Amino acid sequence: MLNSFTVLAVFALGGFAGASGCLCAYGDPCWPDAATFTQLESQVSQPLVYPIPTASACYPASNPSGNCSDVIQNWTDGNWRSSMPGSMEAPNFESFVFKNGTISACYLNTSLGVPCEQGNVPVIGVDARTPTDIQAAVNFAIQYNLKLVVKNTGHDFLGRSAARGAFVVWTHNMKNITYDATFVPQGVPLNETYEAVTLGAGVQWHEAYDAVNQYGRMMVGGISVGGSIGAAGGWLQGGGHSVLSPTYGLGVDNAIEITVVTPTGEYLTVNDYQYSDLFWALRGGGGGTYGVVTSVTYRTYESLPVAFYIFQANVTNTTTLKGLAARMLQLQTNLTDDGWGGSGYLSNISMSFVAIAPNMSTEAANASIQPWTEYWQSQGISSMTELYSVPSWYEWYTSMFNTSGQNGVNVMVTNRLLSRDTVANQSKEVAEILIGCEGGFIMIAGGKVSQIDPESAGVNPAWRNAVVEAACFVSWDEGASLTAIEWLISQLKAWITSLHDVAPNDGAYFNEGSLFEIDWQTTFFGSHYSQLKAIKDKYDPHRLFVVAEGVGSEEWNKELTCRL
């Protein structure tokens, strides 16, 4: 197996295939032959994987090559999709658009008469089960200068875990979970202990929540139908918001220690006491940029009951609806500071949202939402509202999200982290945008998030002054023409401009951002960008890791294949 010394020697001797400034992809003359990949396979614990598009089993349409019925039945199931190395949660990122406008894709709807093609799905990779597997994969990618991507679940609104003709490190099967009530990070004083859980890179949130609940604990984590989002990968590296963030902070605020294989093939354990700069960058500086995370150790908290509030109203009067939405945005400062987390949605005739607050009594919950109640009642709005006390956060989560669906939709999103100043003074303008895009507001900031030092982690400092995230999206049916998709993208760009103009200093959440954000370095990373870039250059001297809108990607062409 190649070690770090061997890899560095290759560079020293002038054997680096990247001297031309371009990465090697499948189909290029530099692509390794079958015998070379066989050598790699002998160095890892599992056979190499050959990812295929999600709908491949349904082709050829006249005589499907696999179980097409299974594909149709599970198409929207995030856990099913994440179990396959070639499947993305948003199928549009499995597709590739050539410069002439031709789309290479594999559609579920075989009646479209379009051939199933590889598109943007990587062609070969390592099914990583151990850090040693990842080291072998990274060293191989360095030696042959391969276009490399890292994939766990494929939950990715920027398409960073797929690339045409790429070599993939697939971490999905690294499922180790270890609970330790007296966890001591490496290099710290023995009297510093945590009730913590260590999650392997492939653990998904439903698995993490199930595990810590057995110990009477809960933790800050992602929310999605089925809990299919990865718990120790891109979610954390982008910042990691949670419905529990207003009470306990972001994911980056709860990570104690991280293990990572760096772009030079080293396997490091990083925390506040050793390799602290890399630990800082991995907490919010963006996934697929500094190495391959193999595990994360998180704080856990005592399992607590939650107050659960539901609001639903149909409002046909446009002026009244805008006022209702604006008032809700104004009240976000109070609600999130009180500990409420949740999400809401707007259309041109309705508004709804759900929110929870840990360890809040019914009496305290009623008092907290009273200003909101007084407002919508004063407007003569007829609504459905409910307030419950649920015995535990885990019981609330499983009752709400223990199902399938939500995924398998072509979608692009954008968001803005609305500051306290914005919700106080620009709420009407934001409300109009959200109603126009039929978007939403996500209550995952304010409170504890605002109390933490902005310099404690590499995440965008805009988080520390934010109280709510505003989001818009576009979606389309598969088989849509490039003209139709481009029209939708132009609409998305218009909303991006509108949100930027209303809140130019507020930034955005990297994991739910767009490929078309304005000044993405500042929007996603804020004042931390230059420091993140320096850390990136230090740990990735060969520029092996590059992703869309990731730190350092401005040095590459649009396809992220050749340096400028």
Give the domain CATH number at 387.
3.40.462.20
Average pLDDT over residues 292-321: 97
Answer yes or no: do 159 and 183 share one domain.
no
Do 59 and 126 fall within a single domain? yes
How large is the average pLDDT for residues 496-509?
Answer: 97
According to DSSP H, which parts of 91-185 are helical? 131-143
Count Cβ atoms below 10 Å from residue 91 Cβ, excluding itself: 25
Distance CA 144, CA 246 (A): 46
SS3 294: strand
Q: How confident is the model at residue 189 (pLDDT cuts 50, 70, 90)?
A: confident
Q: Is residue 10 part of a domain?
A: no
pLDDT confidence of 6, banded at 50, 70, 90? very low
Residue 322 lies in a domain: yes
Percent of the chain topping pLDDT 70: 96
Q: Per the domain annotation, does 26 fall within a domain?
A: no
Q: Within 256-411, where are the H helices?
A: 276-282, 318-337, 362-378, 393-401
Question: What are the tens digits of pLDDT across the range 448-502?
Answer: 999 999 999 999 999 999 999 999 999 999 999 999 999 999 999 999 999 999 9
Tell whether 242 and 327 lie within a shared domain: no
Torsion of CA 499, 501, 502, 506, to 10 degrees: 70
Boundary residue ending a domain (170, 195, 215): 170
Q: How distant, in Å, are the alpha carbons of 32, 44, 161 from that of 85?
A: 20, 17, 10
Domain check: are 162 and 221 in the same one? no
Q: How far is CA 313 from CA 121, 328, 347, 351, in A?
A: 42, 13, 11, 6
CB 203 within 8 A of CB 82: no
CATH number at residue 212: 3.30.465.10
For residues 155 and 184, membership in a common domain is answered with no
The span from the CA of 245 to the CA of 222, in Å, is 10
User: What is the spatial distance between Cα 258 and Cα 200, in angstroms, rounded to a whole number?
Assistant: 10
Task: Tally the domains of the chain.
Answer: 3
User: Which residue in this structure is represented by tokens 């995952």?
Assistant: 444
Distance CA 180, CA 194 (A): 8
Confidence class for position 434, pLDDT limits 50, 70, 90: very high
If asked whether residues 114 and 62 sit together in one domain, one would say: yes
Provide the β-strand partners of residue 169.
Answer: 126, 150
Tell whether 285 and 311 lie within a shared domain.
no
Does the pLDDT value for residue 406 go beyond 90? no
Residue at a domain's end among 282, 302, 322? 302
Q: Is residue 550 included in any domain, yes or no? A: no
Mark whether 365 and 241 lie in a shared domain: no
User: What are the residues whose beta carbons fall under 8 Å from the beta carbon of 275, sequence distance 6 or more?
Assistant: 268, 269
Question: What integer is the mean pLDDT of 250-275?
Answer: 97
For tokens 């075989």, name the residue.
110
CA-to-CA dists, residue 454 to 249, 313, 361, 446, angstroms: 12, 37, 31, 13
For residue 265, pLDDT beyond 50: yes
Note whether residue 523 is domain-resident: no
- C-alpha neighbours within 13 Å on the C-beta side of residue 183: 18
Mean pLDDT of 437-454: 98
Whether the per-residue pLDDT at 384 is higher than 90: the answer is: yes
Residue 370 is assigned to a structural domain of this protein: yes
Q: pLDDT at position 191, please?
A: 83
Of the given ranges (4-8, 131-135, 176-180), which has the lowest mean pLDDT? 4-8
Predicted confidence (pLDDT) per residue in 191-208, tens digit: 899 999 999 999 999 999
Query: Residue 13 — very low, low, confident or very high, per pLDDT cuts 50/70/90?
Result: very low
What angle is formed at CA 464 by the lines to CA 459 and CA 465, rounded to 5 degrees?
135
For 392-447, where are the E strands, in sequence order? 410-419, 440-443
- Decide which of 170, 198, 218 is a domain's last residue: 170
Rounded mean pLDDT of the chain? 94
pLDDT bracket for residue 408 (50, 70, 90): very high
Q: Is the pLDDT of residue 14 over 80?
A: no
Containing 103, the helix (H) or strand (E) segment is strand 103-104
109 within 8 A of 479, measured Cβ to Cβ: yes
| Residue 125 contacts residue 163 (beta carbons within 8 Å) | no
C-alpha to C-alpha distance for 391 and 385, rounded to whole angstroms: 20
Tokens 């399992």, located at residue: 303
- Name the β-bridge partners of 385: 311
Question: What is the pLDDT at residue 20?
Answer: 65
Q: Which is nearest to 219 in space by CA: 255, 182, 258?
A: 255
Q: What is the mean pLDDT of residues 42-71?
A: 96
Domain annotation covers residue 289: yes
Select the more confidently predicted residue: 224 or 285.
285
Q: What is the span of the domain harbouring residue 71?
A: 34-170
Q: 489 and 387, same structural domain?
A: yes
pLDDT of residue 404: 75
Amino acid 403: pLDDT = 77
Does residue 5 form part of some domain? no
Q: Are residues 215 and 126 in the same domain?
A: no
- The predicted-structure confidence for 135-169, as pLDDT tens digits, reads as follows 999 999 999 999 999 999 999 999 999 999 999 99
Q: How far apart are CA 460 and CA 29, in angstroms?
A: 41
Q: What is the pLDDT of residues 522-540, one digit of tens each?
A: 999 999 999 999 999 999 9
The answer on pLDDT for 15 being more than 50 is no
The conformation of residue 114, written as its DSSP 8-state character, comes to: P
- pLDDT bin (cut points 50, 70, 90) of residue 402 is confident
Q: Would the pLDDT of 360 be above 90?
A: yes
DSSP code, position 203: -
Only one residue has tokens 């990070």, namely 185
pLDDT bin (cut points 50, 70, 90) of residue 17 is very low
What six digits make up the tokens of 54? 């999600």
Residue 7 confidence (pLDDT) above 50: no
Tokens of 254: 């709860």
Is 325:438 a contact under the CB 8 Å cutoff? no
* CATH code for position 65: 3.30.43.10
Looking at the fold, whether 139 and 253 belong to one and the same domain comes out as no
Do 283 and 183 lie in a common domain?
Answer: yes
